[in-house]
Amino acid sequence: MASPGQYNPLLDEELSALADNMGFSDNFSTCVTPAPGLASSKGLSEAFLISLADGIEHDEHADSLGRALGFSNTKLTEFRVTNHMSGRKTSKGTKDMLFDWRQKVSPNDQHGVMRKALLKAGLCYLADLHFGTKPNILYVQITPTMNFQYCIDIVRNHYKTVLCQVQRRPWDPNDYIKFDRLYTELHLLQYDRSTGEMRTEPFRGTVNQIMSLKVEGEPWKRLLLLAPGGYGKTCAIAKLAYDWAYEVEGSPMKDIPALFALQLRKVDDDMGLGEAIISQLLGIIPGVTAEKLEEIIGLHEKECALLCDGYDEYTKSIRETKSKNSLVQTLQHKRLKNCQVLVTSRPFLEDDFLQGNLSRVYVKIEGKGFTPQLAHQFIHRYFEARSTPEEEDHLKRFLRANCFLGELIAVPFFCTMICHLHEVKALSEANTRSSLFRNLNIFLLHHAKAKSMIISSEGHHLDNILHALGQVALSGLLQESRKFVFEERDFKDCPDAYEKGLMLGILSKISTPVKHVDHEALSRTSVEFFHIWEQEYCASVYLQHPTPATNRFATLPKKIMKPLSSFQSVRRNLTDSSFQERMDLQTLLNTASSPQKTIVFENMIRLLAGSKNFQICQEIFSHINRLDWRCAVQDQGYTHSDKCRVILHCVSEADAVYLIGKVAHAISNCFRGGRLSLENTTASMIRGIRSLPTDTKMQFTTAEITKSCLTPRLLDSLAGCERLSSLDVRDIASVEGSPQERLPQFSSIKKLAVSWVEPKVLRTLSRCMPAVEEAEVRMRLDDDAAEEDMSAIIEAVGMMGATLKTLTIFAASDLGSVSTEAGQEFGRVLVAGHLETLSVWFLHMSEAGLIDIIKSCQQAARIKLVRFLKCRPVKRNGDACKFLDGLAGKGALNRRTARRITVQVNDNSWIIPHALQASTI
């Protein structure tokens, strides 16, 4: 037989004859298309595998294919022995191998997996023969002497040596650790639109399984991963690249021929997709051009995947609908529509992906950082890698005693920082985010001195260094596109601070090729702060002690002079004790600011609140209060909870001695509506509630808690709000503390609304609400939740029965179904309570169960109105309605003396007598 790579006319004749027998001779071609019926749409047929096995002549080729298909050397030896069992060379063992493989692979995947295996084994002729002549992207010639495989090998090596090396301490560019020793999975939430409304559910799988996620049965083409800074977006991209580069067994990344991971903050304004790939991944390769790269990727887009990290740091925007930039058009889904493109971003730019058709194109995943379990797993791996396991227990005990830091370990970046600061005994005085960064920078200074990098501190005081760097940091943050990557010339006015920043590890610099690398070997030095939060911290240090108005900002481009002029007013005001220009500052901030900008600058505003300066605190809270959040809610998706979060985080940073007088008045003005909204509540927000001025706490009449863990600390903080009359709790799945733990009592709360919570949440709330008069409960959106939720409702009504007058229950439409036994138990609780009005929506129950509840309502002392609305399968001619017809007839005999109850079942109403009076009629 001919070896692979040589034309075999005999094999051609055999395959043609086989196709003739199967009725496909007209469509058969050995050069252009696969043989229909052999490689069918339902998987690879037996005839196909026999033909393929017969085409493999040498044992070495069969072994190579077997390895590519995942067989062990032991199994390959067995197959080889079978091939020679009869004393002559046959293909029986190879056929057995292929049939064995077929049983383990989904029919839908067999074509692609087999073709890739043939190519990987070097059997390109057989791949072309059976699957068509369109070459795999790896074998496309990108230059006359080079195929695309050469470029992919460079990309793969770049991931192994650069991208997938975990920088254990972000400020130390030389401290790396092997990726698989430290990487810890993230907690992800997937947004589901199938119900007609956005709701989240935990993503079932690991980060690398994002790539195999299917939407309505089809692989996604665009995916948006949203998470705040430091929550592991970049590390998730590195994990995907790691699995691809090392071909990790079982990972979906293994089957992607070409993967390009780009950091958008390093992409220049005029760089297209090909130029960005050359600049960041390939470097200088003679003859390789951006245009040729884009052409090859475009012709093989299904074989490529693109990871774009940091859209919030990208200088361009997908809102530029007329842009001709190839990278922008790819993000806009105008190019490479069949290529999987994953984009990461901070949440404040989510609206960019909701415009036009993009809201239907992009699948949305939200990164929530570490759960407590994942954080502890990371801490264990960190200290295990350092061979100091005893430090793990010390840190965990310290975190339990310091809830603020316990909250921060959910953020992977902070988790790393806290581990190291604890390791070097530099964590004890950190009790706010600003003090944590202060401690970190002090440690970096001492660390540099210990290494003799800075001989003397004279003239190089830490504040001077941070102040000078902060001026550059602020100029970047205030630009419209938010600048995070600088050039050395940006630091020309503070060369000494720049050098010290590099020595300390506050700054890092790297040289990268520029866009026209095919013309001339040019490079550019990029300078970055070790993390965006360090950049924001330096900017906050600068704003605390600004320089006079005459400074380097006068040379900035005109397009950013207007917003900067407002901050120059801030600086002038901060150095002028009379604050004569305060009205100008207020006008400028109202002109240049919005809720969206406040969210963008939230971390820097928070750090400023910890500056121990009365005037700064007053200006921050006055600024937040001046914003029109109502307009923001309507137009941009921001909510009252965003406003509350910003305020509470700022309050938690500020020292208590600065939350008095005018500052306290400014805070109170922020809550004039008396409403407190808490979403994704953090330990800092809880501390912020505790630290609010007393007058502010007394303003609150309504509190809303959403997507939070119901902890004793949270309830204790709300107990200080003594005039709360209404509490709305939504979408809460977890509770801390034991059922026996003592909880605060909210005797002022008269109205309680609970929606989509776990049963233990409702039980916990009912234990501390002794005076609730009106309750509304919405059951979870789960097929199997109704019975469990009903049990919790029964317990809650029993505990609140002494005061509860009105109860409304909403079951999940078409999902809620409860047993007759649950209905009977509910009825017994109603008899013992003082309920006056009962409304039940959408609940599925039997006719007998409904009759039991109605009988119980008749026996309840004070009940006047009972409504069962849109409840199925109750029918007008069913037993329940006939029962009510009979009661209504009896009640008509003596309506003057009987105390009546109004009952409504779906569209029908009855007036029935109280049970005691009905029995005497």
Residue 496 or 31, more confident = 496
| Residue pointed to by tokens 């003592």 | 742
Q: What is the pLDDT of residues 787-810, one digit of tens each?
A: 899 999 999 999 998 899 999 999
Cβ contact 210:326 at 8 Å: no
Confidence of residue 18 (pLDDT cuts 50, 70, 90): very low
User: What local confidence, expressed as pLDDT, does residue 204 receive?
Assistant: 59
Q: How far apart are CA 493 and CA 700, in angstroms?
A: 50
Q: How far apart are CA 909 and CA 612, in angstroms?
A: 65
User: What local confidence, expressed as pLDDT, does residue 861 receive?
Assistant: 83
Q: How far apart are CA 220 and CA 361, in angstroms?
A: 8
User: What local confidence, expressed as pLDDT, does residue 402 receive?
Assistant: 81
Cβ contact 609:623 at 8 Å: no
Overall average pLDDT of the 144-149 stretch? 87
Helix-strand-coil split of the chain, %, nearest 5: 50, 15, 35
* Domain extents in the chain: 9-134, 146-369, 371-428, 433-545, 808-921
Q: How far apart are CA 341 and CA 305, in angstroms?
A: 6
Q: How far apart are CA 106 and CA 43, in angstroms?
A: 8
pLDDT higher than 90, residue 780: no
Q: What contacts 87, CB < 8 A, 6 or more positions away?
A: none
Cβ contact 825:852 at 8 Å: no
pLDDT higher than 80, residue 194: no
User: What local confidence, expressed as pLDDT, does residue 170 receive?
Assistant: 65
User: What local confidence, expressed as pLDDT, does residue 127 receive?
Assistant: 82
As given in the structure block, the two tokens for residue 764 are 């916990």
Overall average pLDDT of the 47-65 stretch? 89
For residue 586, the cross-strand partners are none
Confidence of residue 815 (pLDDT cuts 50, 70, 90): low
Q: Which of 282-286, 458-462, 794-798 has the highest mean pLDDT?
A: 794-798
User: What local confidence, expressed as pLDDT, does residue 866 receive?
Assistant: 95
Which of 452-466, 513-527, 559-573, 755-769 shows the lowest per-residue confidence on average (mean pLDDT)? Answer: 559-573
pLDDT higher than 80, residue 664: yes
As given in the structure block, the two tokens for residue 827 are 């009825």
User: What local confidence, expressed as pLDDT, does residue 648 receive?
Assistant: 97
Q: What contacts 385, CB < 8 A, 6 or more positions away?
A: 168, 177, 181, 182
DSSP 160: I
Percent of the chain with pLDDT over 90: 36
Overall average pLDDT of the 621-628 stretch? 86
User: What local confidence, expressed as pLDDT, does residue 180 receive?
Assistant: 67
Cβ contact 266:526 at 8 Å: yes
For residue 528, the cross-strand partners are 508
Residue 165 burial (10 A CB sphere; 0-12, 13-18, 19+): middle
CA 913 from centroid of its chain's CA atoms: 56
pLDDT higher than 50, residue 160: yes
Percent of the chain with pLDDT over 70: 80
Confidence of residue 178 (pLDDT cuts 50, 70, 90): low
Residue 75 has a CB neighbour count (10 Å cut-off) of 14
As given in the structure block, the two tokens for residue 96 are 């057995």
As given in the structure block, the two tokens for residue 511 are 């040289």
Q: What is the pLDDT of residues 468-508, one digit of tens each?
A: 999 899 888 888 777 888 999 999 999 999 999 998 889 98
Which of 92-106, 253-267, 566-580 shows the lowest per-residue confidence on average (mean pLDDT)? Answer: 566-580
Q: How far apart are CA 266 and CA 174, in angstroms?
A: 21
Q: What is the pLDDT of residues 300-332, one digit of tens each?
A: 999 999 999 999 889 899 999 899 999 999 999
User: What local confidence, expressed as pLDDT, does residue 206 receive?
Assistant: 67
* Mean pLDDT across the chain: 81
CATH 1.10.533.10 is the classification of domain 9-134 = yes
pLDDT higher than 90, residue 169: no
Cβ contact 289:296 at 8 Å: no
User: What local confidence, expressed as pLDDT, does residue 113 receive?
Assistant: 83
Give the H or E element holding residue 706: strand 702-706
Confidence of residue 271 (pLDDT cuts 50, 70, 90): very high
Confidence of residue 679 (pLDDT cuts 50, 70, 90): very high
Q: Which of 121-130, 583-592, 703-712 has the highest mean pLDDT?
A: 703-712
Which of 43-57, 134-148, 257-271 shows the lowest per-residue confidence on average (mean pLDDT)? Answer: 134-148
Q: What is the pLDDT of residues 366-424, one digit of tens each?
A: 888 888 888 888 899 888 877 787 888 899 888 888 877 877 888 888 888 889 889 88
Which of 172-181, 196-205, 790-799 shows the lowest per-residue confidence on average (mean pLDDT)? Answer: 196-205
Half-sphere exposure of 508 (CA within 13 A, CB side): 14
CATH 1.10.1060.10 is the classification of domain 146-369 = no
Residue 85 burial (10 A CB sphere; 0-12, 13-18, 19+): exposed
pLDDT higher than 80, residue 709: yes
User: What local confidence, expressed as pLDDT, does residue 916 receive?
Assistant: 54
- Angle between helices 629-636 and 640-653 in degrees, nearest 10: 130
User: What local confidence, expressed as pLDDT, does residue 713 receive?
Assistant: 92
pLDDT higher than 60, residue 12: no
pLDDT higher than 70, residue 6: no
Confidence of residue 30 (pLDDT cuts 50, 70, 90): very low
Give the H or E element holding residue 526: strand 523-529
